[in-house]
Amino acid sequence: MPRLAACACAMLVLAVAAGQAAADVMSFKLLPNYSRATFKSDAPLETFVGNTAAEGVNGTLSLDPAKPQTATGSVKVDMNLVKTGIDKRDADMRSKNYLDTEVEANRWVTFEVKSVEIAGPLEPGKNVPAKVKGILTVKQKPVERVADATVTWVKLTPEEVEAQKRFGFAADNIKVRARFATTFTDHGLKIPAILFYKVSNDIQLETDLTFARQ
């Protein structure tokens, strides 16, 4: 009986500890009005940047500030809402010859976080550099990419939350700034020879994302 009681106590302690550990993982939702994603094509004769509209980017994040290495999450961008500054170019980008965004699965460019390399826990107000490895999917073609990122935990006081909650902010907020690169050919897309000097095969991507705790 004493041994059974000890085992029961040990199991109870483990269950409580597991519950406490799970409670440390926070769930966040991206705030579109305070987030953006861009891509840049830098070709010999032309450089252009594609920008998202506020309603064109969304995502989620699960993170324990004490163990940010275990973070998971995903972000997706609606390519039907990306603007490069020239309507004709935007229409060509979405056409069947390129992204073919009339197909729902092609409409979204997604990045799914697989692992995070970061030094130590997050501290409120401190910018922490990180390497974020994930799967970037363009036109249903997934490739592994690593982003150079900076993660910031923004913690608000109750008074600040009261003033900011109408904008969607919470007591705990996470800002993620990241840069990485990909190529059209890695995603099964080919640049026509006639556009070689105007559209680069190499694409630079940049995000500035703000998440609020749910």
Which of the four pLDDT bands, split at 50, 70 and 90, describes residue 192? confident
pLDDT (average), residues 62-78: 97
* Statement: residue 18 has pLDDT above 70: no
Compute CA distances 54 → 30, 75, 168, 197, whole Å: 11, 13, 14, 31
Q: Give the pLDDT score at 10.
A: 41
Q: Which of 21-25, 31-35, 156-160 shows the lowest mean pLDDT across its residues?
A: 21-25
pLDDT (average), residues 138-150: 97
Structural domain spans, the chain: 25-213
Q: Give the pLDDT score at 166.
A: 96
Q: Which of 12-26, 40-54, 185-199 shows the lowest mean pLDDT across its residues?
A: 12-26
> Which of 122, 128, 126, 170 is CA-nearest to residue 149?
128
**What token pair was written down for 71?**
């973070």
* Statement: residue 11 has pLDDT above 80: no
> Which of 156, 146, 141, 140 is CA-nearest to residue 212?
156
* Statement: residue 149 has pLDDT above 80: yes
Residue 95 CA to residue 89 CA, distance in Å, equals 10
Name every residue whose Cβ is closer than 8 Å to that of residue 130 and which is 6 or more positions away in sequence: 68, 116, 117, 118, 149, 150, 151
* Statement: residue 194 has pLDDT above 90: no
Q: Give the pLDDT score at 97.
A: 87
One-letter amino acid at 115 equals S
Instruction: Using alpha carbons only, give the angle 206, 42, 57 rounded to the nearest 5 degrees.
Output: 30
Q: Which of 15-29, 47-61, 72-86, 110-124 shows the lowest mean pLDDT across its residues?
A: 15-29
Q: Give the pLDDT score at 5.
A: 41
- Is residue 140 within 8 A of residue 106, CB to CB? The reply is yes
pLDDT (average), residues 133-148: 98
Name every residue whose Cβ is closer than 8 Å to that of residue 185 and which is 6 or more positions away in sequence: 201
pTM for the whole structure: 0.85
Compute CA distances 214 → 111, 171, 174, whole Å: 21, 10, 12
Q: Give the pLDDT score at 153.
A: 98
* Statement: residue 207 has pLDDT above 50: yes
Q: Which CATH architecture has domain 25-213?
A: Beta Barrel (2.40)
* Statement: residue 113 has pLDDT above 90: yes
- Is residue 169 within 8 A of residue 31, CB to CB? The reply is yes
E-strand stretches of the chain = 26-30, 36-42, 47-51, 57-63, 72-78, 108-118, 127-138, 141-155, 172-183, 202-213
* Statement: residue 144 has pLDDT above 70: yes
